[in-house]
Structure 1
Amino acid sequence: MRQLFINHIPTEKTALLKEDGRITEVWFERPERTPQVGAIYSGKVTNVEKGIKAAFVDIGTETNGFLHLSDCNQPPVEGAKILVQIKKAPIGSKGPVLTTDLSIGAANLVYLPVGKQVHVSRKLTDDQQQELRSFFVDMLEGEEGVILRTAAVNMQKESLIEEWTYLRHKWKNRTVRNEPGLVHSTAVIPDQVLQHYPLHTFDQIIIDDAATSKEWKKSFPSYTDHIKWEREFEAALGTTVQSVQERIVNPVVEGSLHIDETEAMVVIDVNSAAYTGKSNKQQTALQTNMKAVVAIVEEIRLRRLAGIILIDFINMDDKKSESKVLQAFKRTAKQHGLFLNVHGFTRLGLLEVTRKKEQPSWKSFLGAHDFHYSDTTTFFQLERAILSLNNSAHEAVLIGLPKEWECLKNRLISSGISSKIPQELFFYIDPNSSTFSLETGSVETVREIVASRGFHIDKGF
């Protein structure tokens, strides 16, 4: 059974994929302040450099974007207003790379606001291409176009129309700007998740927010029965989001593996505790390593590990056994949908694997080090802890924050947390603390605490 759990209410959104009762993949999304790949901006051409065949475009960010003429559907003119999409995110002092070929992707098709044509995957037969092209050509309005992916041929027409309508609706409801700035962005949750896992692949989708659940049902009416609003989200999930975070940053995996992430590479060590070292050593080593293969692939997927990955299996001293482990590893990676380059065993007996590094690992994203998280991660953990009190009998909540978190709160939270819970929420700044504190009780009790400690409290949280 495949389930998608979406924790949408907190500022930091979380999506968790559960397959046959096990959490196999996770996504976190925070409000981004830097241009992301796929985001569409209203821009203004500041200058055209004929020598390098490119233009620089003000998109309302710290640095101007770079637009090569080959990525522009018409010659840019200085001072002109244009719509551009981020092709490559900014790196260091370099601005983002732009294109005027706008697109909004989904699992089975890509919406082109100015494409004007129906493009169909060449992997399909001529008859399949013609059928899909004929089906969509009459649906186009104005300058819009569509690209139909290979997977579209296996979809019901009703599902394709829903996906098309969903993307078109997102574009038509974009932000309209006269000045440079963001007009449309593709959210990690749900858009990028659904690009990898189409709706029809889920047996159930559980969402913690009633309004979001209703919106999904409206957008995808043929999947209404699969979408469920669940007030007690973590009870339905069977664990907490914070517990999942703790798992993916813990270097020890159920006593069987040790995962060490460094700047240069990831090293995974198979624990030899299960290896008795007595009779039939070779068979015991092989069995232990074969079991470890599944756990390793699951952790690579869950933790979003990439780059150079070296795996230290228990020494087998046998090429046939190494070959069995190697083939099992490739087979298991394919079953999990991972694109890994498995290079084989080195002279030192390490299995060498590489994976294209497109994003940081989740441990890096969470800023985790020795079970301590970045202030940003900890602050979002606090927000979830407060929201979890929504259905409790407590009347009031008192939050203590470190001094440096005061501006962090203003930067990370766009709308007050207090508006999302029935309790009265107070906070104070504790100059002697390095993390948050949380106390609950009746309004009278909280006020007594405040009075006894001489706190200056603020209700603007």
Structure 2
Amino acid sequence: MSEEILMNITPMESRVAVVENGVLQEVYIERPQKRGLVGNIYKGKVVRVLPGMQAAFVDIGLERAAFIHASEIGRKGEATEELPINQLVHDGQSLVVQVTKDPLGTKGARLTTHISIPARYLVLMPDSNHVGISLRIEQPEERDRLKALVENALAGLGEGTEAGFILRTAAEGVGEPEVVADIRYLQRLWKTISETIKSGKAPANVYEDLPLHLRTLRDLAEPDIEKIRIDSRETFQKVEKFVDKLLPEVKGRVEYYPGERPIFDLYSVEDEIQKALGRKVQLKSGGYLIIDQTEAMTTIDVNTGGFVGHRNLEETIFKTNLEAATAIARQLRLRNLGGIIILDFIDMDDPEHQRQVLRTLEKAMERDHAKTNITGVSELGLVEMTRKRTRESLENVLCESCPTCEGRGTLKTADTVCYEVFREILREARAYDSESYLVRASQSVVDRLLDEESGNVADLEEFINRPIKFQVEPMYSQEQFDVVLL
């Protein structure tokens, strides 16, 4: 597996692409005026407690109040999810919180009081004294070695080491110097944050997570990354300093890209981003996926399309579903789709085929950095899964709802609008006395009124005993029209 990270940095926008074997797998976009909030720590103020929902709204200085559930409010030694929310917080109370989910759509940010601050190999948990290890580190001997390494390092450092730590996946194989360096860095950082919390007045931002290019290095620069290419000399110099200080093992793999050809054109990244905004994804076999995002969930439908197979229908279905499983895993990462996801594979009668398709999907999702959970095939032949959603999807970052169709994806036909015009004229004729009527509408609607519907227009004029005139409004959408009394 060949893996590279490409960074396209401009003053207006930072973009990061993760490319595996020459194929784009993930893309991250950050704009200065709309930076992600996940990982930021705030001193907030409780503005409304909701006992019926076991939750509260907290003002952290954003346009919309953020949301916190009782289970996310920490009290040492107590299971807070079993306590009523009004025993945990009250209106006007100051609360130190961390953002776990960006505001998505109409929903405010999601919060927790369980603070966690990541470094390269460790995550600091200020309100804990536990040493945990990433589940992705599977070897029992390595888990034991790493746990002993952290416990010995904490014992050697002495005072001020009461916090808990979690060893990240990147810690696999590291030695004592790297662990101690991370612990010291995190302790210094938490001391600075604590002092800001004490002196700050709510609502206030007391800690911001790293910008995209440094966050990418911290979280994604794993041993199997061959190259990290950056097309901005200024950013490259900042990255070099960051790498010297915190990620020395990455140093030889970071390089400045001075080429005249845009860095994202190296692997057709721009084209792939455009394709990722489409509803239809073509498969090599001739089959295709249809991906629909809604506020509640994402649905992905698999179709055979032009693939007819070589032997029989069952073989055709099985091969299409296998290819679709791999393609779905890539699309989930590329589009950053999260929450509940429903996969409608083509119905398979053979249980072994079902098992192999599910296994292919699980295998393809192993490289995903987001936490996923995949169920078996339901009675309706659907596969239900969840993918942890912390940031907005690619579509929500780059697009907005169409103002013409208001996000429906369809428009009323010119026929339908014509009949709405007729009903509105009748309504106006009954309510008001006027000499004539002027219909202002789009070109397509006026054309239809003057052509196919001209007979109905004449009948209507005779019925109301008033003339009807028409005027094209070039700026009107097909659904827009006005009936003006003259």
| TM-score band, normalised by shorter chain | 0.5 to 0.7
Residue equivalent to 1:216: 239
Counterpart Cα distance in 2 of 1:267 and 1:56 = 34
**Match of residue 375, structure 2, among 331, 334, 342:** 342
Question: Could you tell me which of 125, 139, 149 is aligned with 1:131?
Answer: 149
Cα drift, residue 284 of structure 1: 3.9
SS at match of 1:25: strand
Amino acid at match of 2:255: K
Describe how 1:21-420 pairs up with structure 2 within 5 A.
21-31=22-32, 36-43=37-44, 59-62=60-63, 71=74, 83-86=96-99, 101-106=114-119, 108-112=121-125, 114=126, 119-121=131-133, 128-139=146-157, 142=160, 145-149=163-167, 151=169, 152-161=171-180, 163-164=182-183, 167=186, 178-179=200-201, 180-187=203-210, 189-190=212-213, 193=216, 196-221=219-244, 222=248, 223-232=250-259, 234-235=262-263, 238-239=266-267, 242-254=270-282, 256-263=287-294, 264-275=297-308, 279-306=311-338, 307-313=340-346, 317-334=349-366, 339-344=372-377, 346-347=379-380, 350-356=381-387, 358-359=389-390, 360-367=392-399
Normalised to the residue count of structure 1, the TM-score between the two structures is 0.62
TM-fit CA distance, 1:142: 4.6
How much has 1:28 moved relative to structure 2?
1.7
- Partner residue, 2:444: none
Identical amino acids, percent of aligned pairs: 23
Instruction: Provide the aligned C-alpha RMSD in A.
Output: 4.8
1:454 maps to which residue?
Answer: none
Q: Which runs of 5+ in 2 are unaligned?
A: 77-87, 407-473, 476-486
Structure of higher CA gyration radius: 2
How many residues are paired up?
A: 370
Alpha-carbon deviation of 1:81?
Answer: 7.4
CA deviations on 1:347-401 (whole Å, 9 max, x unpaired) are 4xx442322352443223322679x9x9xxxxxxxxxxxxxxxxxxxxxxxxxxx
Q: Which moved more, 1:6-15 or 1:158-167?
A: 158-167
Q: Is the Cα–Cα contact under 8 Å of residues 343 and 383 in structure 2 kept in the other structure?
A: yes
**Displacement of 1:33 after TM fit?**
5.9
**1:48–1:54 contact (8 Å) kept in structure 2:** yes
- 1:47, CA displacement in angstroms? 10
1-side partners of 2:363 and 2:38: how far apart?
A: 32
Q: Is the contact between residue 7 and residue 13 of structure 1 (CA under 8 Å) also seen in structure 2? A: yes
Q: Which consecutive residues of structure 1, in runs of 5 or more, have no partner in the other structure?
A: 375-431, 434-461
For the Cα contact (< 8 Å) 1:107–1:197, is it kept in 2?
no
Q: CA deviation at 1:17?
A: 0.6
* Letter aligned with residue 207 of structure 1: I
Normalised TM-score (structure 2):
0.60
Cα shift readout 1:415-451 (whole Å, capped 9, x = no counterpart)? xxxxxxxxxxxxxxxxx99xxxxxxxxxxxxxxxxxx
